[in-house]
Amino acid sequence: MSSKVFHPSREHILGGIIMFLICLLFTGYKVAWFFWVPLLPLVFILWTLRVRTTVTTKAITTRYLFRAGKTMQWEDFRALRFNRAGRAYAVDNQENSFWLPGVTFNSLASLSSASGGRIPDPVTPARTATDDKVQVVNKDGYAVLMDKDEYKDYEKQRRREAGVDAGAESSHAEPGAANGKDSAPDAQN
């Protein structure tokens, strides 16, 4: 049985160490009052190391710091939702949900493969669809994606409107193209 573990970024530990050092400076003002302040970054570091979401082919299991973890079988799973803060929630058939620590929108591709396709991956097909596209940005900042053939037509139209002559047009054309017409590479040799 394969499983994938999602946990918060370990870079949070570096942030916790920096917060701890800052809190030590703060505590130095009045130790009797602020002795507890450096404990907050230590709890944050412990949280980073402890919380996680494990996805297997049978279920989603979470582990939290101060409360019991939860498990949802795939038969009960209905959807994966994200709130405005970017937190992921697993929703069951009765609309009950629980937080999935370490799962972000960027981890959807890994989540899809770990769940055996039960959670769809909308990111990868969109990325592969734009791989062969050219982004064209006009003067107003409006951008559009075009495939290479559409871009050639767009560029010819733009040059015609700008009044660029045919000689200048062929010098800017792609290698292997003469005056806008494709020529065989062997014909040039």
> Mean pLDDT, 10 residues at a time, over the chain (189 residues)?
86 94 86 88 94 92 92 91 91 91 89 86 80 81 85 87 64 45 41
Q: Which domains does the chain have, with CATH numbers?
A: 3-127 (2.30.29), 132-172 (no CATH)
User: Which residues on adjacent β-strands are paired with residue 73?
Assistant: 59
- DSSP code per residue over 101-169: TT--GGGHHHHHHHTTTSS--SHHHHHHHTTTEEEEE-TTS-EEEEEHHHHHHHHHHHHHHHT--HHHH
CA–CA distance, 117 with 75 (Å, rounded to integer): 14
**Two tokens, residue 23:** 């809190």
Alpha carbons 38 and 25: distance in angstroms, whole number:
9
Residues in the chain: 189
pLDDT confidence of residue 120: 85
This model's pTM is above 0.75: no
pLDDT at site 146: 85
pLDDT at 167: 52
42 neighbors 13 (Cβ within 8 angstroms): no
